[in-house]
Structure 1
Amino acid sequence: MTDGLTIGRAAAFAGVTIKTVRHYHRHGLLQEPRRDRSGYRRYGSTELLRLVQVRTLAAAGVPLAGIGPLLEADAEQFAAALVDVEQRLTDRIEELIARRDTLHRLAEGDRALLPDRALALLDRMPGLGFTPDEVAASREGLVLARALAPEGVDEYLTALERAFDDAPFIALIRRCGEAMTWEPDDPRIEELVTAMAEAFLASPERLKNVTSFQARTETAIRYRLISRFGNQSPAGARMSDLIEAKLCSAGVPIPHP
């Protein structure tokens, strides 16, 4: 009777595939046993023990490059190495949990792209009289702002939270939304622009709706990408230009490309 197991039976014994055993051989983790008279390699108890050890460490998350030194280490070194492996596994688990949470948030739409504070503000907008299109434009604008100037988002959200409790200011913003459909030379635009500029200048908190991103956007181009989003109609672009011009003339710094 021939002693030892063939590679197929050894792999089955260890709970791995033949391909995995050969992979361990290529990495030098497992010495290939000698061939018997029939030309088959036979895995004895020593090889089987080593195979099980390698498979167990690999399944526990130890990189293949670290298994060899680990098996050659003394008890103290082995224990210390396992602590390091455990920490890396913990980090990996936390990363996977974060990815899972992101998938859950993606399933709920904007929750992967915006903080809860922003979502709460968007939820309030219909009750303040904003149309679905205006809510959608605000949502997309917040996503863009967060991507281009994340450091300014918290201050901007604080300004929005206060603005949403400011009924006269909200009425002006809604009026600006209605004006998006006007002709750009509509004489009512001048009156509305003046009212908006005066509202901003009358309150430092309101003004932060304009200035929150300025110090953090690095370039005027980035600022204008944020400030012009949602104001892309001819009337909206003209209103933005005129409001900024009035604020500039009052000493408010506005980046320009």
Structure 2
Amino acid sequence: MRNGVTIGQAAVFVGVTVKTVRHYHKLGLVTEPERDSAGYRRYGSAELLRLVQVRTLAGAGVPLAEIGPLLESDADQFAAAIAEVERQLTERISELTARRDTLHRLSDGNRALLPDRAVALLARMPSLGYPPAEIAAAREGWVLARALVPEGFDDYLADVENAIEDPRFVTLLRRSTDIEAWAPDDPRLDELATEMAEHFLANPAHLRIVTGLQARTEAATRYQLIANHGHQETSAAGVLAALVETKLRAAGIGIPR
């Protein structure tokens, strides 16, 4: 009776494929048995034990490049190496969990890109008189703001949450969303811009909605990307925004050009 088993049998016993066994041989993780008189490589108990050890460590997440030295280490080194692998796996689990949570949020496009408090504000906008197009523009602008000025985004949301509790502010918002059909040179735009600027100047907490999203670097560029998103400069909305900014600058408020 021949001693040992063939590579195919060894693979089945250990729970891997023949290709995997050969890969272990190539990496030097398991010594390849000598051929017997019939020309077959026979795997004895020592080779099978080594295969089990390698397969177990690889299955636990130990990189193949580290398995060889690990199996040759003493007990203390082995324990330390396993602890490091466990730490790396824990980090990987945290990363994968975060990715999974993001995928879950993709069922709601807003929640995938914005925090819950921003989503809640978007949900309130219809009741404030915002039409769908304005809500979509606000959502996209907030996504940009969060990416370009992350350090100021939470404070900005807090200021918006506070401002929409003020009836006068809400009234101005509603009026500003009713100008879509106005011509860019409509004289009512300047009147509305004056009212809005005066409101902001009289309410510093509301003014921060305009001034708060200013980055520490490339402030003007980032501000304009956010402030002008969704509005053509020649549209009534674009003209209104520019007029409000001009009036605030005239009053000494620092707004990037």
Q: Match of 1:146, SS?
A: helix
Match of 2:100 in 1: 100
Alpha-carbon distance in structure 1 between the residues aligned to 2:118 and 2:217: 19
Q: Match of 2:177, SS?
A: helix
Match of 1:240 in 2: 241
- Contact 1:4–1:44 at 8 Å: present in 2 too? yes
Q: Deviations over 1:127-171 (max 9, x none)?
A: 222222222221111111112211121111011001110111111
Alpha-carbon distance in structure 2 between the residues aligned to 1:109 and 1:170: 26
Match of 2:116 in 1: 116
1:140 aligns with 2:140: yes
Q: What is the identity, as a one-letter code, of the residue corresponding to 1:36?
A: D
- Contact 1:105–1:111 at 8 Å: present in 2 too? yes
Q: Match of 1:40, SS?
A: coil
Alpha-carbon distance in structure 1 between the residues aligned to 2:136 and 2:106: 17
What aligned pairs does 1:43-122 form with structure 2 within 5 A after superposition?
Answer: 43-122=43-122
Match of 1:211 in 2: 211
- Cα–Cα, structure 1 residues 227 and 114, in superposed 2: closer, same or farther, change >3 Å? same
Alpha-carbon distance in structure 2 between the residues aligned to 1:216 and 1:173: 28
TM-score if structure 2 supplies the norm length? 0.95
Provide the identity percentage: 63
Q: Deviations over 1:210-230 (max 9, x none)?
A: 111124452312210100113
Alpha-carbon distance in structure 2 between the residues aligned to 1:217 and 1:198: 29
**CA-CA distance at 1:40 after TM superposition:** 1.6
Q: Deviations over 1:30-52 (max 9, x none)?
A: 11110112222111111110000
Gaps of 5+ in 1: none
- Contact 2:159–2:206 at 8 Å: present in 1 too? yes
TM-score if structure 1 supplies the norm length? 0.95
Aligned length: 256
- Contact 1:148–1:217 at 8 Å: present in 2 too? no
- Contact 1:196–1:243 at 8 Å: present in 2 too? yes
Gaps of 5+ in 2: none
Q: Deviations over 1:97-119 (max 9, x none)?
A: 11111110112221120001101
